[in-house]
């Protein structure tokens, strides 16, 4: 079982990717491919549920998609032309297998499977009410709350029960559900997490990112819109708008780091946005230097943009290993920065004596930045000027992203000059918040009605944070202290 995160520990982590197929032979095999293409969105566990017209079939496993879902044996046990899949990096709920999605329940309407990207910010409160009325939870996942709300809804039809459940939710959710009556997919009213729609012959495909459409050969049709609910069944696709209207605020960090550079997110090429970020960064924070070096691979597109804008050559000054592994035993005191060297190594012959512009996508706790700097100094770098392709990350995310508690965020503790001293670089600059919006094609941030959720940079959360408020008044929550046994 391989679950190691290939990206650095010192990153915000998107915690989920979802994928769905309606109406294709080999739906499970297709979903496995789609999930593999979304693996960067969640490496701890994966699951696929299929429906063959009569029966639901499910396989869930800890670890990567490859290794768990690439055997004929596993795929053969997942028959049907309808499938939903999920990759997961846990935010709420512990890592046990019972929390691996899609979650499934047998309702009076028949089977119901759900794959969820996002986080329900009032899940704890809803759960407490449901338990009080006799519901028994199988998992510690916030997603299960949705199923119990559907199960106990007093509406008559499954669709009405589902809408009834959604209306009680607060937070971020892109959902794909399988039911005997068809596939239900929706995006929360603010559209915080992405969800796209594609077509492959007669089949509909849903995915967190367009790269998953590419891998199965599907055509990208459009994004599911914030607040949109689509019902796909044998009569085709029907779009509903069950919520009152909001100004959408999709997550801006998808463009900075979460999404793959070859994806199209809400209409923009991620690679082009990141290059424009690098260009904007070169305009905002120019410097005289010999080479532009990315922290690979997340800093690479912005570094190319910076190099093109500034005319300073782009070079691979840090080589990234293709092999994961960070738990090696340290043989003695003599090895500095062991962890970073397992993943990144200075290209010493290039670095020695050079003035370097070092590009990274963001700084979270700063633990890796300080080690990479030391590695470059050890390799003989004359100067290092660090340029960060986003504003300072100062606030936690409660919408399905793994962030350290606020106190651990470097930018929540110190200003830029103190960060520069801490990391020991010759100069340090972040992209401005308006610069980030410009790279996305806006004129700047509309502070009155922001175009994106940028709470990690601004602290401006677009929804209530009910559970979070209760945690800050923790006296009522004793029941949560009891941990559910396996």
Footprint (CB under 8 A) of a copy of itself, residues 137-176: 137-138, 147-148, 151-153
Return the number of the residue (152 or 466) whose C-beta is nearest a copy of itself. Answer: 152
Six token digits for residue 237: 């696709």
Does 427 sit near a copy of itself (CB under 8 A)? no
Decide whether 329 or 448 has the Cβ nearer to a copy of itself: 329
Return the half-sphere exposure (C-beta side, CA atoms, 13 A cut-off) of residue 134.
2
Subset of 258-277 contacting a copy of itself (CB under 8 A): 260-262, 264, 269, 271-272
Compute the distance between CA of residue 264 and CA of residue 272 in angstroms, rounded to an integer.
10
**Which residues neighbour 38 within 8 Å (Cβ) at sequence distance 6 or greater?**
17, 18, 19, 87, 207, 208, 209, 211, 212
Distance of CA 254 to the CA centre of its chain: 7
- Choice from 308, 374, 413, 466 touching a copy of itself (CB under 8 A): 308
Q: Which residue among 6, 8, 14, 16 is the active-site one?
A: 16
Does 104 engage in binding with a copy of itself (CB under 8 A)?
yes
Q: Which of residues 43-102 bind a copy of itself (CB under 8 A)?
A: 49, 54-60, 64-67, 69-72, 75
- H helix intervals, 347-476: 348-351, 367-378, 410-413, 416-423, 433-439, 455-458, 466-471
Stretch that binds a copy of itself, among 12-20, 225-233, 250-258, 342-350 (CB under 8 A): 342-350
Which residues sit in the known binding site for [4Fe-4S] cluster? Answer: 251, 397, 453, 456
Alpha-carbon span 265 to 252, nearest angstrom: 10
Q: Is 37 a residue that touches a copy of itself (CB under 8 A)? A: yes
Which candidate, 235, 221, 232, 322, places its Cα nearest to that of 267? 221
From 273, 270, 275, select the one nearest 259 (Cα to Cα): 270
- Residues of this chain, 173-232, that bind a copy of itself according to CB under 8 A: 200-201, 211, 214-217
Decide whether 131 or 471 has the Cβ nearer to a copy of itself: 131
Near a copy of itself by CB under 8 A: residue from 236, 325, 353, 459: 325
CA–CA distance from 291 to each of 218, 294, 304, 318 (Å)? 40, 10, 11, 12
- What is the length of the chain? 486
Nearer to a copy of itself, 7 or 422 (CB): 7
Where do the DSSP E strands lie in 350-399? 355-360, 383-388
Residues 347-376 that bind a copy of itself (CB under 8 A): 347-350
The answer to whether 316 contacts a copy of itself (rule: CB under 8 A) is yes
Rank residues 347 and 458 by Cβ distance to a copy of itself and give the closer one: 347
Taking CB under 8 A as the criterion, the residue among 22, 314, 399, 437 binding a copy of itself is 314
Q: Which stretches of 390-449 are DSSP H helices?
A: 410-413, 416-423, 433-439
Q: Which residues pair with 204 in a beta bridge?
A: 22, 199
Reported as half-sphere exposure (CB side, CA atoms, 13 A), residue 360 has a value of 21
Count the site residues for a copy of itself by CB under 8 A. 109
Q: Per-residue contact track with a copy of itself, 440 to 469, x per CB under 8 A?
A: ------------------------------
177 assigned to active site: no
Residue 313 touching a copy of itself (CB under 8 A): yes
- Measure the CA–CA gap between 250 and 194, rounded to whole angstroms: 7
Annotated binding site for Mg(2+): 298, 360-361
Task: Considering only the stretches 191-199, 250-258, 314-322, 381-389, report the one whose residues sit in contact with a copy of itself under the rule CB under 8 A.
Answer: 314-322
Considering the complex, state which of residue 119 and residue 153 has its C-beta at the smaller distance from a copy of itself. 153
Catalytic residues: 16
């Amino acid at each position: 079982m391989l679950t190691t995160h290939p990206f650095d520990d010192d990153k915000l982590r998107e915690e989920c990717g979802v994928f769905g197929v309606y109406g294709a032979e080999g739906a499970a095999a297709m979903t496995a491919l789609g999930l593999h293409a979304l693996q960067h969105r969640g490496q701890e566990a994966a699951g696929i549920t299929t429906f063959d017209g009569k029966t639901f079939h499910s396989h869930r496993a800890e670890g990567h998609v490859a290794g768990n879902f690439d055997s004929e044996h596993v795929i053969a046990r997942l028959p049907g032309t309808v499938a939903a899949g999920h990759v997961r990096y846990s935010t709420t709920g512990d890592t046990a297998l019972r929390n691996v999605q899609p979650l499934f329940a047998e309702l009076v309407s028949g089977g119901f499977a759900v794959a969820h990207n996002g986080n329900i910010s009032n899940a704890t409160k809803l759960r407490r009410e449901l338990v009080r009325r006799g519901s028994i939870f199988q998992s510690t996942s916030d997603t299960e709350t949705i199923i119990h709300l559907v199960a106990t809804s007093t509406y008559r039809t499954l669709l009405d029960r589902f809408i009834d459940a959604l209306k009680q939710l607060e937070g971020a959710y892109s959902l794909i559900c399988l039911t005997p009556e068809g596939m239900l997919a929706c995006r929360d009213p603010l559209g915080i997490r992405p969800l796209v729609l594609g077509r492959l012959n007669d089949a509909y495909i849903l995915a967190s990112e367009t790269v998953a459409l590419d891998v199965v050969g599907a055509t990208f049709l459009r994004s599911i819109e914030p607040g949109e609910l689509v019902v796909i069944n044998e009569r085709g696709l029907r779009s509903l708008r069950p919520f009152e209207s909001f100004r959408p605020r999709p997550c801006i960090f998808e463009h900075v780091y979460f999404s793959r550079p070859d994806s199209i997110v809400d209409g923009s090429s991620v690679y082009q946005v990141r290059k424009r970020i690098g260009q904007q960064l070169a305009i905002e924070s120019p410097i005289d230097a010999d080479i532009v070096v990315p922290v690979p691979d997340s800093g690479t597109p912005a570094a190319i943009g910076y190099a093109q804008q500034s005319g300073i050559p782009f070079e691979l000054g840090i080589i990234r290993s293709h092999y994961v592994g960070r738990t090696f035993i340290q043989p003695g005191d003599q090895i500095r920065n062991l962890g970073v060297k397992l993943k990144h190594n200075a290209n010493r012959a290039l670095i020695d004596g050079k003035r370097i512009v070092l590009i990274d996508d963001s700084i979270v706790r700063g633990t890796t930045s300080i080690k990479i700097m030391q590695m470059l100094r050890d390799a003989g770098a004359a100067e290092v000027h660090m340029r960060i392709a986003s504003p300072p990350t100062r606030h936690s995310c409660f919408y399905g992203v793994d962030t350290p508690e606020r106190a651990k965020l470097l930018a929540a503790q110190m200003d830029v000059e103190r960060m520069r001293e801490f990391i020991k670089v010759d100069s340090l600059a972040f992209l401005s918040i308006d610069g980030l919006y410009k790279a996305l094609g806006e004129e700047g941030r509309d502070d009155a009605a922001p175009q994106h959720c940028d709470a990690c940079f601004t602290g401006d959360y677009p929804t209530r944070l009910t559970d979070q408020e209760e945690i800050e008044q923790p006296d009522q929550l004793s029941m949560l202290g009891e941990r559910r046994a396996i």
